[in-house]
Amino acid sequence: MAEDIAGEIDKPKRWAIPFASDMTEADVDAILKIPPFSHIDPSAFSPLVPLRGLFLNDCRRQRYQRGDIIMRAGDYGNSAFFIISGSTRLVLDSLDEGLLGRGTTQRKTFWQALSQLWKNPTLPEVQNLEHVQQDHRLGSRKKEGGRAHIFLQDVPHVLDEHRTARVEAGDFIGEVAALGRTERVGTYFAEEDCELLEIRWQGVRELRLRSPEIKAHIDRLYRERSLKRHLEQTPIFKHLSQEDLEKVAAQTQFLSFGTFEWFGSYKRLREKDPADRLAAEPVIAHEDDYPNGIFLIRSGYARLSESYNHGEKTVSYLGKGQVFGYDEICYNWLRGKSIPFGRTLRAVGYVDALFVPTAVVESFVLSKLDRARLSNNLPSPRIKSEASAYRQDAANKLSPNMLEFLVENRVINGTATMIIDLERCTRCDDCVRACASTHNNNPRFIRHGLEMDGFMIANACMHCADPVCMIGCPTGAIHRETAHGQVVINNETCIGCATCANSCPYDNIQMVLPHRPEGGLYYDKTTHLPIQKAAKCDLCHEQLSGPSCVRACPHDAMIRADMRDVDALATWFNK
Amino acid sequence: MVQQVKNFARRHGCGLFVFLALSLLSLALHRSRVINLIHCQVYSGLTLFAVLLFLASFNARKKLPFLPLLQASTWMQIHIYVGWFSVVLLFIHMEYRMPSGPLNTTLAILFAVVSVSGIIGLWISRTFPQRLTWRGENVIFERIPAIRFQLKQEIAALARKAVMESSSSAIGDFYVTQLKDFFDGPRHVVSHILSSNKPRHRLLSSAEAIQRYLSPEECNQLQDIMELVRLKDDLDHQYALQGTLKCWLFVHIPFTYGLLLLAAFHGLIALAMT
């Protein structure tokens, strides 16, 4: 007889926490009768992740009433929706921020800015939540399972004022954002009472992987809705005609690498040694492999490395919009050679890429270019025998230590990373005081963080290019500012669920307990627990003068760096 | 970012140029005797007072981070070069002579304290951060007492354990005579400021010296103790240097206010007399 041993537990399983607790076998039966799900072959699914289990655990049925907002443009989603019944409306132009539950940023006037000198409270986190008023054009209602829906009060008015398109039962919506970790591109609301099946991203990926019907369905939608636009925006395809572009799009493949929710494993990986960390990064293309196509990074970041003695040396990183493999294919085509990939491309966390086969690149891209001109501007891929180097490599600009550090700690994600030159910083904390002065006496960063070669990456929101903190915010309170792209929190719609703070891989979001102006905390009327709110750096988007931390530093010791701009970064590091 | 680096170099160049131009102009005006002596002293005095007021306004800028009032680093550069210019102005105002009378002498001393503290402040602001960066863990100044307390608890526990586990008192004696006081608070502040490693070396040598009286197990425990000594010394280094970086302003700023008040008084009297 097996004995119980202290500390033994069941190994956590993928579906330990289902997406919804109210999915039943009857629901699954009903869903499996609806096309395209009715065409799925259950035997294609692994016994560990069976089809029925997927619908039971990765899906939930959501009922929406007329006017309920299903998703908002600009939000980061981690699920796709399938319309079971009823119809929804896609808003083709943009709704104003108030209607999307986001605050509108109003810069302070000179007088309002100055009055902070005497109006800043002495107590921490003083907020006036009693006077918070929701936009009168919006309502909210709580649904079964405790899920809240925000709805438009005046649907006919929205239909009159905005261009919209009907999306009916049998279609997916939000699948592109869910698969590619991109922003939702459209706002959808229920045109009439309708039912949708919400599938979390893991489920969508599994369905797409195991079922050719679903893959074809989703890929068709992506090709119709987004792919052509994406290719048009890629410089190497800019000269193609619409007809050629369509042919390229038809042969483009969609690939995903790594874990979508990489922020969970990131902290554990940080404890491991560099070789283990590297091994945990999925290989997209391997050095010495034949270049069978180009990879266009759609979202996430990839590490470029090359073998060096017994290890791998990071030489650069690629982000959204950048291309891998073009130089090798171009070189081979012009010279009639077949050099392999010069570097290994790995997903740092998560990468969503488009793959265009070599034959397609040669037929539609290279053959349309002036051969002589192309030959003059021949790119110089890394050919081991010739030992040439990419001039654009970050490794040529940043020290190897620094480059490895930035990539491994995924600091490359930041668009406004706070970097402090410790050899200039006198630790005077003028930056912290300035931050506090511009945020009601509450500093929104800590002058503390990772260090490398005399530089510190301080614990301040980096306003990431891939803001994983935005995934799963139930009210859309954390969002990107439309004007300048800062990731900010709308205090009025933040419900204090801490999803963003738990998701931030860099621990740059804090949960705070707001105080009443007269002292004391706020409490929830139902639970009687203290109200909490998420707080983080907002790059002083309401202030007249931009980020006060950088402006307050008397010693030029601090910058807010866009990590995508390697040249500027190198200038700062090597100054 | 590139712009920021260029701005930094440009600011230095502009500052130096403006300082030299203003100084040469003032000296030329003074030497040419375009203005008579009494008027020259009034004008140079008023200019000097205005310059001092401007220099003091840097502190006000720090209190107003929410207003678009140029970057603090730009202010800093202006502050440095205008500060040098004020020294030139003072010499012109004093007609290159030593001050006479108690008021003038006090004023000159105050000016000297403010200037020298400013120069020292500038020097330590440029040199101490490098020393802080490369020795010990970078800690926030306000957290140092808590870390020190933690180290104190750890060393006491180690010493207690060493005594309890062996029948020897060597480590206990060493702790009582030398380590307890060292871990009780910040120590060797001046040595750290002067970059001297003598106290650290002496303490570690003493620890090594008692090894001959220890069993192999105690030797291992002593190694742990020596590691804590190094950590505490590094912490003291951070405390001494960060403390100095904060403290010099407590001389520079109050003396500036004193100087301004006394200069205003001096100006009123001088104007009344003329």
Q: What are the chain B neighbours of A572 within 8 Å (beta carbons)? A: 1-2, 4-5
Cα(A255)–Cα(A511) distance, integer angstroms: 36
pLDDT at A391: 44
pLDDT at A208: 84
What is the tens place of the pLDDT at every residue in B136-178? 889 999 999 999 999 999 999 999 998 888 878 899 999 999 9
Cα(A296)–Cα(A321) distance, integer angstroms: 6
Cα(B55)–Cα(B77) distance, integer angstroms: 11
A437 and A389 in contact (C-beta within 8 Å)?
no
pLDDT at B185: 94
Q: Give every CB contact of residue A450 below 8 A, 6+ residues apart in sequence.
A: A405, A409, A411, A456, A457
What is the tens place of the pLDDT at every residue in B111-129? 999 999 999 999 999 999 9
Which among A110, A429, A555 is the nearest to B76, CB-wise? A555
Which among B1, B73, B125 is the nearest to A572, CB-wise? B1
Q: Is B60 on the interface with A (CB under 8 A)?
A: no
Query: What are residue A559's DSSP bridge partners?
Result: A419
Cα(B75)–Cα(A60) distance, integer angstroms: 59
Tokens of A240: 């193609």
pLDDT at A232: 82
Cα(A340)–Cα(A381) distance, integer angstroms: 9
Q: Is B137 on the interface with A (CB under 8 A)?
A: no
Query: Which of A116, A418, A425, A427 best tests the B interface by mutation, with the highest count of B CBs <10 A?
Result: A427
pLDDT at A3: 52
What is the tens place of the pLDDT at every residue in A249-280? 889 988 888 876 677 778 777 778 888 888 88
Cα(B43)–Cα(A75) distance, integer angstroms: 64
Taking 70 as the pLDDT cut, the residues of chain A under it are: 1-14, 16, 77, 97-105, 130-149, 153, 180-181, 260-261, 377-395, 472, 474, 476, 482-483
- Beta-carbon separation of B1 and A430 below 8 A: no
What is the tens place of the pLDDT at every residue in B209-261? 998 888 888 999 999 999 999 999 999 999 999 999 999 999 999 999 999 99
Q: What are the chain A neighbours of B75 within 8 Å (beta carbons)? A: 554
Q: What are the chain A neighbours of B245 within 8 Å (beta carbons)? A: 426-428
Q: What are the chain A neighbours of B247 within 8 Å (beta carbons)? A: none
Tell me what ipTM this predicted complex has: 0.88
Cα(A195)–Cα(A62) distance, integer angstroms: 6
Tokens of A236: 């190497």
pLDDT at A377: 66
- Beta-carbon separation of A559 and B4 below 8 A: yes
Residue B4 in this model has a pLDDT that exceeds 70: no
Domains of chain A in sequence order: 14-95+162-212 (2.60.120.10), 233-396 (2.60.120.10), 403-573 (3.30.70.20)
Task: Give the pLDDT band (50/70/90) at residue B7.
Answer: low
What is the tens place of the pLDDT at every residue in B8-66? 677 778 888 888 998 888 888 877 766 666 677 888 899 999 999 999 999 999 999 98
Residue B179 in this model has a pLDDT that exceeds 60: yes
Tokens of A7: 């500390």
Please state, as a whole number, how many other Cβ atoms lie within 10 Å of the Cβ of residue A109: 10
Q: Is B71 on the interface with A (CB under 8 A)?
A: yes
Query: How close, in Å, is residue A439 to chain B by CA atoms?
Result: 10
Which among A116, A426, A571 is the nearest to B66, CB-wise? A116
Q: Give every CB contact of residue A544 below 8 A, 6+ residues apart in sequence.
A: A107, A108, A110, A113, B66, B67, B68
Q: Which segments of A439-522 are extended strands (E)? A: 446-452, 455-459, 478-480, 487-489, 510-512
